[in-house]
């Protein structure tokens, strides 16, 4: 169901005026389902050779002229970096339930209107409100020292006096299991380093992040009183990384926090030498009882022939409550916004509609993606593709693609491979099978082909979910290439005669 | 003057028992004189070809067997990393005037004795005591936000309520001069990025660090009420870098602090957009009136033929009051300590004495280096070389060399070039003309050839003077290579028939 436009405007106005009212909280907390990058298959792109039996040969050839115009226009200069500067410097981080997120939504609506797009509006989404509050971790033994930390999103807090207990460091679940009840009354530290292998594609993230998500549940099983996790990164300058966690069927809800890799390594070293480590963890963290109002932001370039058919492009407007959410995912938002603007400025109106969607609450609930899928259920059969940019505003490498149907996946992969030959000038020709985006995940079961902008992630996890995810880490030239890549692919998918993943008649 | 051994032991014992007594403070504060790496000339090493007229051909050839033994022994496994672990994890950072530094000095004496060295003792040095106290910087306009900061060593504090004032960002002295009295009553931010050009050799440091040292004096000239400086680094994760500063002939002593590069960049961006920035700076920083007792630590491998002639090898035992002082300069200390131990274990007793000196107070006063030069004035003519390791415990590249006399410099450079061919197996053959070390600087006027272990500094300034200078950043294999390089060069210089920089008779 599509919310009518006047309601949408009211949602934005309500956000402008809203004063958050804190409410006491115990509640469920949805954990972000991140597709493990380890499940991806990378395939060499850019050959431009038709695969055997591929029905779509010729797509690229027929769009060469438009693609060149789009690339030239996007690379000659665009407004993406300036937009990102406003989002980062004037608003800052944008956590679900925060005034900053409300301001960002208002900003996005106003900016998209100013860019002259059609059907610009916001659509109400109810999101969880978790508030970090004050928090600290102090090493007590063998030496008093403050430990850089960030509580994990969704965690319960500690009693006001904190939890003081010995720390037991483990590498993984197996080591925890071997210790079993020996961790009762203690704090378990999951010191599981993220691998830097194949870092460009973010491959090491999946195996380390599971302890952030599930560490509290695993530790509680054996009677631990809190869980700490080594920050999920390969490079650290005493910089803790937050992120979502969940209790699932946990026997007890114990507080969970991420600590710097430096202190995780130190605690493990001390433990190896038989030196006892005790810490005091204090967290005021609280999940409010009731969800609060937020919104997805929508804007369109209406199709000239089949406006009811839609290519969605977007990123998520929310971020964690630290840093500026520059790479995650301010960059994705402005990439989508600016891709639409480049096409509009070139007066390239495709056959179908291109719809920018800036999702809310990707980081700690995915309510934006789920609500969009539910509210737009009726028109999902006419969604010909959904593309998300949520891997940072780095140099584009190509696109990932995931479809629910295996045959359609094969066809779409070959079609995409050919389309991406149009991106040879910016080197973004790689096809990553099995990659899409968290927000568009809920569209996949309805048969919507899901694509994700792939970028060079070598330095993504340096800043991901940290105080250091700031504008200075984004290279304006890389961001322009992202805009160019997104604009070309969105345009071709929205304009080509057949639909992605369907054999040409 | 050499302090007799019993006095030295007493110095150590006093340090063990001392309880620091805070005293009120206004006083002078010596700023560390860092030789600008930009003044260095790098020359290709490892050719092994005798230069025209070079009198020392054959040095390397005659030490091939011993060098191989030393390299093999050092690389097969040594105790440097374990020593560094004790220094970092059991003691931590070691700022002048702190109990931690006292503990480190005691640890070093005990460790060197346990290693079986001769003449192990400490020598009293009076050092300044600057105490950081609590400190904070808050962005007030356009948005309230805590700013990662570290007060600069030697700075005065602010009134208890802090200093709240608008910020004016400048790139350099010229821009400040153009603004002139417009900065009166304001806080000047020196946002001068460190260049990453030729980063392996630390070349970008010199031009940026001058604002850390002199920013307060420059800003006070025009009536500014405080000075902020962009942290001197090329890579930041919201990590402020402290360091020394001085007031010189300043018209007023105004507080000075370093802020993260991220916030420096943000303030400059806001200023470019005409958005006013106001901050509140609070610093309890205080320099105590009277210097306090500290010590250099000494240990020897006595020479077999000319024990009164000395090759000094060392690093500085003090560090800043953040992080663990792992690269700066725990690594240098354990490199020197372990180089001596490797030679002792191999029973390689050179013609001359090799003396480890672990200097105190390198970071904020250089009192250790100055006191050593003064107390040992009589024996300086018999110091045949002094080698310092103070560029981080990274992969060794070679050695720098500086002599006061130009002719001697030429001869010594050629001799060193040949000696370094012995380090071809570990790739440490480069000769860097004009590089030594801060602590051995005071020996140079007396004609002592000063050498510095050169290492790959690509990542040195990522952690330099920060919370992130921790053990995990040191690679054990690199550290072993440093030990090997130091041991070989110290041994050859101490054993070769002639003296470095003197023509062979």
| C-alpha to C-alpha distance for B474 and B326, rounded to whole angstroms | 7
Minimum Cα–Cα distance from B148: chain A residue: A467
Measure in Å the smallest separation between the Cα of B78 and chain A Cα atoms: 18
Average pLDDT over residues A140-147: 97
Which two three-digit tokens encode residue A5? 């436009």
Indicate yes or no: CB of A238 within 8 angstroms of CB of B142. Answer: no
Cβ proximity of B316 and B358 under 8 Å: yes
Top residue of A230, A237, A462 to mutate, by most chain B CBs within 10 Å, is A237
Indicate yes or no: CB of B265 within 8 angstroms of CB of A85. Answer: no
Q: Strands B292-301, B118-127: parallel, antiparallel or unpaired by DSSP?
A: antiparallel
* pLDDT cut 70: percent of chain A above it: 89
pLDDT value at position B204? 87
In the numeric block, the tokens 């990659």 are attached to A435
**How long is chain A?**
505
CB contact B274 to A (< 8 Å): no
Q: How far is CA B260 from CA B97, B137, B197, B274, in A?
A: 26, 11, 20, 21
pLDDT value at position A7? 37
pLDDT value at position B436? 87
| C-alpha to C-alpha distance for B482 and B480, rounded to whole angstroms | 5
Sign of CA dihedral B333, B338, B339, B343: positive
Cβ proximity of B315 and B201 under 8 Å: no
Chain segment A150-186, per-residue pLDDT in tens = 999 999 999 999 999 999 999 999 999 999 999 999 9
| C-alpha to C-alpha distance for B91 and A266, rounded to whole angstroms | 13
Chain segment A68-89, per-residue pLDDT in tens = 999 999 999 889 999 999 999 9
Average pLDDT over residues B136-156: 97
Chain segment B68-88, per-residue pLDDT in tens = 999 999 999 889 999 999 999
CB contact B472 to A (< 8 Å): yes
Chain segment B286-340, per-residue pLDDT in tens = 999 999 999 999 999 999 999 999 999 999 999 999 999 999 999 999 999 999 9
The yes-or-no answer on residue B362 being catalytic is yes
Q: How sure is the predictor about B442, in pLDDT bands with cuts at 50, 70 and 90?
A: very high
In the numeric block, the tokens 């005669």 are attached to A497
pLDDT value at position A77? 86
**How long is chain B?**
505
Cβ proximity of B104 and B91 under 8 Å: yes
Does the bond joining A142 to the residue before it have cis omega, within 30 degrees of 0? yes
Which DSSP helix (H) or strand (E) runs through A307? Answer: strand A306-316
Domain A131-287 -> CATH class: alpha beta
pLDDT value at position A57? 55
| Coil vs helix vs strand at A487 | helix
- Window from A300-304, B204-208, B230-234 with minimum mean pLDDT: B204-208
pLDDT value at position A35? 36
| C-alpha to C-alpha distance for B339 and A7, rounded to whole angstroms | 76
Indicate yes or no: CB of B142 within 8 angstroms of CB of A90. Answer: yes
Indicate yes or no: CB of B466 within 8 angstroms of CB of A238. Answer: yes
Q: Strands B163-170, B149-151: parallel, antiparallel or unpaired by DSSP?
A: unpaired
Q: What letter would DSSP give residue B172? A: S
- Considering only CB atoms, which chain B residues are within 8 Å of A236? 237, 468
| A467 closest CB neighbour out of B90, B238, B466 | B238
| B462 closest CB neighbour out of A237, A261, A270 | A237
Indicate yes or no: CB of B471 within 8 angstroms of CB of A269. Answer: yes
Average pLDDT over residues A444-453: 97
**Domain limits, chain A:** 5-17+69-129+294-495, 131-287
Does the bond joining B501 to the residue before it have cis omega, within 30 degrees of 0? no
Q: Strands A226-230, A256-259: parallel, antiparallel or unpaired by DSSP?
A: parallel
CB contact A272 to B (< 8 Å): no
pLDDT value at position A27? 30
Average pLDDT over residues A339-353: 98
Does the bond joining B169 to the residue before it have cis omega, within 30 degrees of 0? no
| B237 closest CB neighbour out of A90, A145, A463 | A463
Q: Strands B135-141, B278-283: parallel, antiparallel or unpaired by DSSP?
A: antiparallel
Convert A110-143 into a string of H (helix), E (strand) and C (coil). HHHHHCCCEEEEEEEEEECCEECCCEEEEEEECC
- Reported ipTM: 0.89
Q: How sure is the predictor about B57, in pLDDT bands with cuts at 50, 70 and 90?
A: low
Task: Could you please state the CATH topology (level 3) that the domain comprising A5-17+69-129+294-495 is classified under.
Answer: Aminopeptidase (3.40.630)
Residues of B432-446 as b/e, b for ≥16 C-beta within 10 angstroms?
Answer: bbbbbbbbbbbbbee
Chain segment A398-408, per-residue pLDDT in tens = 999 999 999 99
Does the bond joining A332 to the residue before it have cis omega, within 30 degrees of 0? no
Top residue of B82, B84, B237 to mutate, by most chain A CBs within 10 Å, is B237
Minimum Cα–Cα distance from A470: chain B residue: B262
How large is the C-alpha radius of gyration of chain A? 23
Q: What letter would DSSP give residue B420? A: G
Indicate yes or no: CB of A239 within 8 angstroms of CB of B236. Answer: no
Q: How sure is the predictor about A99, in pLDDT bands with cuts at 50, 70 and 90?
A: very high
| C-alpha to C-alpha distance for B298 and B313, rounded to whole angstroms | 10
- The residue among B396, B322, B399 whose CA lies nearest residue B45 is B399
Q: How sure is the predictor about B58, in pLDDT bands with cuts at 50, 70 and 90?
A: confident
| C-alpha to C-alpha distance for B287 and A371, rounded to whole angstroms | 60
Neighbouring-strand partners of residue A433: A41, A401
Q: What CA dihedral angle connects A269, A273, A279 and A281, to 10 degrees?
A: 40
| A269 closest CB neighbour out of B85, B236, B239 | B85
Minimum Cα–Cα distance from B265: chain A residue: A472
Chain segment A450-470, per-residue pLDDT in tens = 999 999 999 999 999 999 999
pLDDT value at position A26? 29
Stretch 110-149 of chain B: residues touching chain A, C-beta under 8 Å: 142-143, 145, 148
Which two three-digit tokens encode residue A497? 């005669």
Cβ proximity of B343 and B301 under 8 Å: yes
Chain segment A105-119, per-residue pLDDT in tens = 999 999 999 999 999
List all residues 6 or more positions away from B268 whose beta carbon is below 8 Å from its beta carbon: B169, B189, B191
| C-alpha to C-alpha distance for A79 and A81, rounded to whole angstroms | 6
pLDDT value at position A434? 86
Bigger pLDDT: B373 vs A206: B373
| C-alpha to C-alpha distance for B380 and B378, rounded to whole angstroms | 6
Average pLDDT over residues A205-232: 96
Between vectors from CA B171 to CA B166 and to CA B173, what angle results, nearest 5°? 95
Q: What letter would DSSP give residue B91? A: I
pLDDT value at position B342? 98
Chain segment B243-282, per-residue pLDDT in tens = 999 999 998 999 999 999 999 999 999 999 999 999 999 9
CB contact A92 to B (< 8 Å): yes
Chains A and B form CB pairs within 8 A to the count of 72
Indicate yes or no: CB of A239 within 8 angstroms of CB of B239. Answer: yes
pLDDT value at position B377? 98
Measure in Å the smallest separation between the Cα of A417 and chain B Cα atoms: 36
Catalytic residue among B300, B362, B388, B418: B362
* pLDDT cut 70: percent of chain B above it: 89
Which DSSP helix (H) or strand (E) runs through A197? Answer: none
- Name the burial class of residue B305, with classes exposed (0-12), middle (13-18) and buried (19+) by CB atoms within 10 angstroms of its CB: exposed
- Considering only CB atoms, which chain B residues are within 8 Å of A470? 238, 262, 265-266
Catalytic residue among A362, A363, A388, A418: A362
Question: Within a 13 Å sphere around the CA of B384, how many CA atoms are in the beta-carbon half?
Answer: 26
- The residue among B97, B102, B88 whose CA lies nearest residue B290 is B97
Indicate yes or no: CB of A266 within 8 angstroms of CB of B471. Answer: yes
CB contact B467 to A (< 8 Å): yes
CATH architecture group of domain B5-13+64-129+289-495: 3-Layer(aba) Sandwich (3.40)
| Coil vs helix vs strand at B452 | strand
| Coil vs helix vs strand at B228 | strand
Measure in Å the smallest separation between the Cα of B401 and chain A Cα atoms: 32
Top residue of B144, B191, B262 to mutate, by most chain A CBs within 10 Å, is B262
Stretch 281-340 of chain B: residues touching chain A, C-beta under 8 Å: 323
Q: How sure is the predictor about B206, in pLDDT bands with cuts at 50, 70 and 90?
A: confident
| C-alpha to C-alpha distance for A233 and A202, rounded to whole angstroms | 10
Which two three-digit tokens encode residue B28? 């002078």
| C-alpha to C-alpha distance for A340 and B41, rounded to whole angstroms | 53
pLDDT above 90: residue A480: yes
Mean model confidence pLDDT for chain A? 90
Residues of A373-408 as b/e, b for ≥16 C-beta within 10 angstroms?
Answer: bebbeeebebbbbbbbbbbbbbbbbbbbbbbeeeeb
Average pLDDT over residues A254-280: 98
| C-alpha to C-alpha distance for A130 and B201, rounded to whole angstroms | 47
| C-alpha to C-alpha distance for B384 and B405, rounded to whole angstroms | 14
Q: What CA dihedral angle connects B101, B102, B106 and B107, to 10 degrees?
A: -30
Sign of CA dihedral A306, A310, A311, A313: positive
Which DSSP helix (H) or strand (E) runs through A202? Answer: none
- Considering only CB atoms, which chain A residues are within 8 Å of B82? none
Top residue of A231, A262, A269 to mutate, by most chain B CBs within 10 Å, is A262
pLDDT above 70: residue A139: yes
Q: How sure is the predictor about A207, in pLDDT bands with cuts at 50, 70 and 90?
A: confident
Neighbouring-strand partners of residue A126: A293
Chain segment A25-51, per-residue pLDDT in tens = 323 333 333 333 334 444 434 333 334
pLDDT value at position A23? 28
Which two three-digit tokens encode residue B111? 């460790």
């Amino acid at each position: 169901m599509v919310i009518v436009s006047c309601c949408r405007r009211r949602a934005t106005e309500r956000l402008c005026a809203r004063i958050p009212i804190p409410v006491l909280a115990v509640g469920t907390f949805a954990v972000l389902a991140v597709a493990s990058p380890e499940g991806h298959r990378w395939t060499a792109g850019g050959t431009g050779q038709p695969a055997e039996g591929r029905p779509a040969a010729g797509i690229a050839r027929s769009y060469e002229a438009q693609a060149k115009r789009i690339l030239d226009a996007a690379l000659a200069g665009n407004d993406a970096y300036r937009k990102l500067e406003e989002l980062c410097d004037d608003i800052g981080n944008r956590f679900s339930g925060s005034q900053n997120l409300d301001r960002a939504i208002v900003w996005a609506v106003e900016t998209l209107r100013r860019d002259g797009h059609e059907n610009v509006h916001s659509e109400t989404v109810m999101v969880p409100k978790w508030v970090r509050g004050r928090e600290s971790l102090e090493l007590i033994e063998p030496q008093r020292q403050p430990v850089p930390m960030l509580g994990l999103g969704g965690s319960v807090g500690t009693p006001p006096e904190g939890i003081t207990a010995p720390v037991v460091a483990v590498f993984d679940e197996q080591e925890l299991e071997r210790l079993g009840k020996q961790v009762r009354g203690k704090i378990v530290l999951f010191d599981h380093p993220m691998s830097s292998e194949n870092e460009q594609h973010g491959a090491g993230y999946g195996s380390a992040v599971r302890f952030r998500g599930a560490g509290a549940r695993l530790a509680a099983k054996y009677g631990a009183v809190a869980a700490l996790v080594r920050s999920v990164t390969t490079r650290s300058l005493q910089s803790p990384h937050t992120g979502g966690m969940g209790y699932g069927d946990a026997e007890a809800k114990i507080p969970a926090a991420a600590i710097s890799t430096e202190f995780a390594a130190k605690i493990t070293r001390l433990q190896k030498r038989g030196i006892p480590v005790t810490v005091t963890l204090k967290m005021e963290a609280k999940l409010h009882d009731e969800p609060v109002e937020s919104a997805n932001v929508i804007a369109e370039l209406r199709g000239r022939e089949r406006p009811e058919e839609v290519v969605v492009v977007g990123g998520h407007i929310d971020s964690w409550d630290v840093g500026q959410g520059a790479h995650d995912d301010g960059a994705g938002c402005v990439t989508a916004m600016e891709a639409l603007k480049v096409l509009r400025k070139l007066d390239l109106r495709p056959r179908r509609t291109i719809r920018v969607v800036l999702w809310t609450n990707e980081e700690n609930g995915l309510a934006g993606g789920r609500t969009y899928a539910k509210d737009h259920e009726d028109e999902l059969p006419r969604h010909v593709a959904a593309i998300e940019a949520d891997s940072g505003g780095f140099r584009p490498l190509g696109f990932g693609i995931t479809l629910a149907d295996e045959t359609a996946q094969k066809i779409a992969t070959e079609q995409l491979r050919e389309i991406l030959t149009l991106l040879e000038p910016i080197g973004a020709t790689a096809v990553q099978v099995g990659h899409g985006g968290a927000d568009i995940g809920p569209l996949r079961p309805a048969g919507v082909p899901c694509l994700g902008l792939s970028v060079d992630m070598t330095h993504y996890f340096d800043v991901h979910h940290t105080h250091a995810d700031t504008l200075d880490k984004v290279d304006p030239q890389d961001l322009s290439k992202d805009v160019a890549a997104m604009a070309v692919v969105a345009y071709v998918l929205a304009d080509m005669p057949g639909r992605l993943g369907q054999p040409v008649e």
